[in-house]
């Protein structure tokens, strides 16, 4: 078993891992990060494991519906994973509260995409999404990961963190820009965060997708710690100052309602 095959928790647990299970999880992680890009030979090369062994693992994962082989012999995540995703979402209080209220009092958000994401290291992971046909060129999906440094929910969540915590999360540098408008350095990120702190919401303009503007607000738990972010995404051509004011007011109300239902003291 190579170092790449061991999950991070291995260092925290003296119990031996099951090598095949560990390698299977590693395959799913790699394919999840690069869907429709990795072949059997490439997986074998990256893992440092014999191609015959990787073939056996991939065949088993296919039989279980965890992997799907494309016509070009690359792999994608299989449909069975969605059962786990739904089960996780059902157990996640913040996702449940988001699902309960995303259609309540959202008349100002007709035609907008509304998403919920949670922090994971230097990324945000989407655990809820209602996509609009107004932005068909970019669709969010449950399980999608995006750089915290480029997203409205990322800025909203970082606005509730200290500067040192933000710098620690981004200590390895920024990812490759997603668009020509993506931030290029840490100071640009900190400018977004400072504005989010001042306004009480974040504003991300074309950093994730050209022609799209996003607004984000933090979601807090009973300890008033940030645990998630809600965002509204719209075509940038739709925005007017009046419309932005209405959208932001509704977004902040949604985030506050979820936070209050989770026990946050919003007034404090």
Which domains occur in the chain, in start order?
3-78 (1.10.10.10), 84-261 (3.30.450.40)
Q: Is the pLDDT reported for residue 47 higher than 80?
A: yes
Per-residue pLDDT at 59: 94
pTM greater than 0.85 (yes/no): no
Q: What is the mean pLDDT of the chain?
A: 85
Q: What is the mean pLDDT of residues 137-150?
A: 90
Q: Specify the pairing of strand 145-147 against strand 123-130.
A: antiparallel
Q: What is the mean pLDDT of residues 244-268?
A: 86
At 221, is the pLDDT very low, low, confident or very high (cuts 50, 70, 90)? confident
> Greater confidence, 186 or 2?
186
At 46, is the pLDDT very low, low, confident or very high (cuts 50, 70, 90)? very high
Per-residue pLDDT at 260: 86
Share of the chain above pLDDT 70, in %: 87
Q: Is the pLDDT reported for residue 2 higher than 80?
A: no
Q: Is the pLDDT reported for residue 45 higher than 80?
A: yes
Closest CA to 4 of 52, 54, 39: 54
Per-residue pLDDT at 9: 41
- Number of other CB atoms surrounding residue 231 within 10 Å: 30
- Rounded to 10 deg, the angle between the 241-261 and 93-101 helix axes is 130
| Strands ordered across the beta sheet of 202-205 | 145-147, 123-130, 113-120, 226-235, 212-220, 202-205
């Amino acid at each position: 078993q190579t170092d790449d095959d061991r999950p991070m928790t291995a260092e925290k647990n003296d119990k031996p891992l099951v090598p095949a299970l560990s390698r299977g999880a590693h395959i799913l992680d790699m394919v999840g990060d690069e869907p429709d890009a990795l072949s059997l030979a490439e997986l074998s090369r990256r893992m440092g494991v014999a191609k015959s062994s990787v073939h056996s693992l991939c065949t088993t994962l296919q039989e279980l519906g965890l992997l799907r082989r494309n016509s070009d012999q690359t792999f994608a995540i299989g449909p069975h994973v969605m059962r786990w995703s739904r089960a996780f979402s059902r157990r996640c209080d913040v996702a449940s509260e988001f699902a309960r209220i995303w259609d309540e009092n959202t008349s100002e958000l007709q035609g907008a995409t509304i998403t919920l994401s949670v922090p994971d290291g230097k990324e945000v992971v989407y655990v809820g999404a209602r996509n609009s046909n107004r932005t068909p060129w970019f669709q969010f999906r449950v399980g999608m990961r995006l750089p915290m440094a480029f997203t409205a929910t990322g800025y909203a969540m970082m606005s509730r963190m200290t500067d040192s915590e933000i710098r620690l999360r981004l200590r390895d540098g920024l990812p490759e820009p997603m668009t020509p408008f993506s931030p290029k350095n840490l100071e640009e990120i900190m400018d977004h965060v400072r504005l989010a702190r001042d306004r009480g919401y974040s504003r991300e303009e074309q950093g994730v997708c050209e022609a799209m503007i996003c607004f984000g607000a933090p979601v807090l738990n009973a300890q008033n710690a940030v645990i998630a972010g809600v965002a509204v995404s719209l075509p940038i051509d739709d925005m007017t100052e009046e419309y932005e004011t209405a959208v932001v007011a509704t977004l902040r109300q949604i985030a506050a309602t979820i936070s209050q239902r989770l026990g946050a003291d919003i007034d404090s």
